[in-house]
Amino acid sequence: MSRIPFTRAHLTGRELEYIARAVSENHLSGDGGFTKRCNAWLEERIGCAKALMTPSCTAALEMAAILADIGPGDEVIMPAFTFASTANAFVLRGGVPVFVDIDPVTFNLDHHLIEQAVTPRTRAIVPVHYAGVGCEMDAILDIATRHRLYVIEDAAQGILSSYRGRPLGSFGQLAALSFHETKNVVAGEGGALLINDPELIARAEIIREKGTNRTQFFRGQGDKYTWVDIGSSYLPSEIVSAFLLAQLENADAIQHDRLRIWNAYYDAFEPLEARGFLLRPTIPSDRSNNAHAFYVLVRDLPTRTHVIESLTRQHISAVFHYVPLDTSPAGRRYARAAGPLPVTHSISERIIRMPLWVGMTADEIGRVVAETADALAAAPVIA
């Protein structure tokens, strides 16, 4: 029986050609031609004032924390249902993540709970667009404007997705994208900082270049470059950008195939939802779906454990997702919750993410669904 992995790298056909070209051009460090072409693609498709490729989404979030002047004791509102990088980037600056519960439909920040979490120490709101489905950005921006807060979008999963017709990553002053191998468009590792406030561009370039004005110098804006601010090494190599450019050029085709798979799952799981075994995703009508992930919700943690173990025995890799950060050792040490997080904890115990990668066949999708149905039928009922 063949194995169905959770994810599988997809090559569009020009990755190795572009890498060879980068090598032949003898520019392997950051900000060569391929990096600039990736930046330009993002700026055009997302509509941000500036895009800067980074080694990872984590690096982009760290840059955002510096640009927002997060310092010791400053509070940053975010969900606990997210990856550690969302919080860690701000903790590194001395900030305090403040966790707010999530919406039971989108698994994004519950915008109704944000304002009551704001204190005199609050500096920023970090909405996380879970599974590429946008947060309630109009409400979040309204709160941020009234309280003079930064909005920093964690759009790690959000490329080519939109909220009310506007691309994710174009709302906050800053946003971060991921090109990790588990994302829709990949570079193995990689990310980008998106800047929507033009006043932040110059400093972002300095932070990205180890705190030097090197970028401005090479544009002829000065007779030398020197150390002018804090920063770090936030440039990816040209090898990474060369690989990514081949992916970006085929991003629409990639998304089209992922949507084919997502929709096939959605239709195939309908009978199981009708029988009360699970819940399928709900995409609000004012948001697009980039098919980053297909998940189902089952009734409880024992059922989830049983289903994943059953699928594993059938050589199918399905996974759960985030362990809420408020329950983690570092979360208890460095962060706090603004109140109870019942939806966060419920979703984290019940979610199962199904295999989804470009090129999955109808037979493979059918096998995943059939084995899931058999596992749910045999799952123990806990009184």
- Minimal CA–CA distance to 204: which of 42, 87, 69, 71? 69
177-187 pLDDT, tens digit per residue, is: 999 999 999 99
Structural domains for the chain: 15-248 (3.40.640.10), 251-377 (3.90.1150.10)
* pLDDT exceeds 90 at position 216: no
The span from the CA of 177 to the CA of 43, in Å, is 12
Tell me, what DSSP letter sits at residue 326? G
Instruction: State the pLDDT at residue 108.
Output: 98
Is-contact 136 91, C-beta < 8 A? no
Mean pLDDT for 345-374 is: 98
The span from the CA of 176 to the CA of 184, in Å, is 15
Mean pLDDT for 299-314 is: 97
This prediction has a pTM of 0.96
